[in-house]
Chains A and B, each alone.
Chain A
């Protein structure tokens, strides 16, 4: 009875994940090795194509920059939120949750209005007489990064607020009572204790921006393709499924590698864990 219960109850979810996710994804990866030209021929082709490697490097670059900026903005903001009095704190958290619950399309779309040819930034700069011709800010790495930071900062703020609130007040007070200045306390006590949380936040943002589709589609366009948009284009526009599968395999490997390495690191650096 109990034997049936413990396996039986997990069975529907297990079957669904294995059949509809694990096997399809493994099949996608497997097809890349079945080419007549040799098992690794699609990968050789990928890495020999300047166009495609550029997209891979751009995607990595954009994901790294987005992660770094989100970390700094998110950490400083979370530090302020963690120190706010109760009421103000709830308002701040609602203000961070609201964008998070708003869709990616809607949030990316806002930046089209802001950065477009007739957007707010151009309008303002022209009416101030700083520029005479509208700047082309869309379809650049910059526009993609701005929108991605916008996308991921709320996630980082919420993750890190939780982390910073988890640093016991007494530990901070102990540091103070032992003569550490606020800056010394920040660098010697608060920051080291927040490192595991920072890593978790960084992994979330890195994988999220590395695999994003809607934002580069809207703000990067054809000129600034990323891995996600490239995959879609190969699969649904040129119907090069082997090429799309190759891109998929590279994305899976990089994502899983980053997640495993970083979460192992976070666990090792976590002093609270026994």
Chain B
């Protein structure tokens, strides 16, 4: 049923996929190498670089910080984003158009500029401690996902269902929680996942908001690399890829992976 693909074009696409996936395979290989430097193909096989991660307290601590910041930042963005997305869809005609533009500003403004400005005005200027600044920064960075992805789900939601619930005597907040929320579940999950992944991998904002004792895993990886170029970095990278695999498995189990193409 599908149109034929010219063999040259097909071969080209195959090469592109090789280009996309080979570097990740190389990282996995390098993480297993029994050498003190990074190399591929691995020479000898060992898991000691994975063990090494857990011996370096900086990796442990920053990993914990990264997870905390990603969870709290994402949660905060959803708490702000879901009501905003709801209002934007429910009162579409009555709310000004710039409001929806405002919520995508964190994508529009260069991240590195946002990180720098946040440090300058909020952390130093306003005196907000580093850790809450980090969470606030990440929450704003991922806010567009909360508003847009949840908004896309809400756009497909028939609000007369909500009116039906209210007419049957269900109070507004309860209606939202029991009628609207279950129907936009897919959007909320997708927003959470995209936001979490974005936050946990973020560099450009975190790089400004690390202080004594507080850093995130990607920043720690960069710092480690400046001093040591050993397979530990590769094994940390593999663990981060496993997080990605885990997330994709969650997506597959809850929404189906085809969701990601929409």
Contact = CB atoms under 8 A, between A and B. Distances in A.
A154 interface: yes
Contact of A251 (B24, B113, B261): B113
B161 interface: no
B13 A76 contact: yes
Given A23-B121, A232-B207, A13 B13 contact: no
Contacts of B237: 105-106, 109-110
A163 to B, nearest CB: 11
Interface residues of A, number: 85
Contacts of B12: 76-77, 80
Contacts of B84: 9-10, 12-14
Given A85-B2, A103-B218, A6 B121 contact: no
A118 B16 contact: no
Interface stretch (A24-32, A49-57, A129-137, A194-202): A24-32
B133 to A, nearest CB: 9
Interface string A11-54: 01110111011111101100000000000000000000000000
B38 A153 contact: no
A82 to B, nearest CB: 9
Given A85-B1, A218-B225, A17 B103 contact: yes
Contacts of A241: 120
Nearest to A88: B2
A145 B83 CA distance: 41
Interface string A77-104: 1011101110000101111111101111
Contacts of B4: 83
Given A85-B2, A116-B38, A13 B95 contact: no
Contacts of B168: none
Interface stretch (B50-58, B178-186, B197-205): B197-205
A6 B261 CA distance: 31
B26 A154 contact: no
Interface residues of B, number: 88
Contact of A248 (B13, B117, B229, B248): B117
Contacts of B83: 9-10, 12-13
A139 interface: no
A175 interface: no
A143 interface: no
A20 B118 contact: yes
A162 B152 CA distance: 16
Given A109-B225, A113-B27, A97 B108 contact: no
Contacts of A16: 80, 136, 139-140, 143
A214 interface: yes
A207 interface: yes
Contacts of B3: 83, 172
A43 B244 CA distance: 42
Nearest to A158: B261
B234 A113 contact: yes
A153 B12 CA distance: 14
Contact of A80 (B10, B81, B90): B10
A2 B172 CA distance: 11
Interface string B1-43: 1111100011011001101110110110010000001111000
Given A110-B23, A213-B207, A76 B9 contact: yes
A238 to B, nearest CB: 14
A184 interface: no
Nearest to A211: B110
B107 to A, nearest CB: 9
B38 A113 contact: yes
Nearest to B136: A20
B92 to A, nearest CB: 10
B253 interface: no
A235 interface: yes
9 contacts: A24-B120, A25-B114, A98-B248, A101-B197, A102-B241, A154-B20, A211-B204, A217-B222, A236-B208
Given A27-B121, A83-B4, A110-B26, 15 more contacts: A9-B86, A12-B84, A24-B121, A80-B12, A98-B21, A103-B240, A107-B23, A109-B237, A111-B23, A120-B26, A231-B116, A232-B112, A235-B208, A245-B116, A248-B113
Leading 10 A-B pairs by shortest Cβ distance: A103-B201, A110-B23, A211-B110, A24-B121, A24-B117, A9-B87, A80-B13, A9-B83, A6-B91, A13-B80
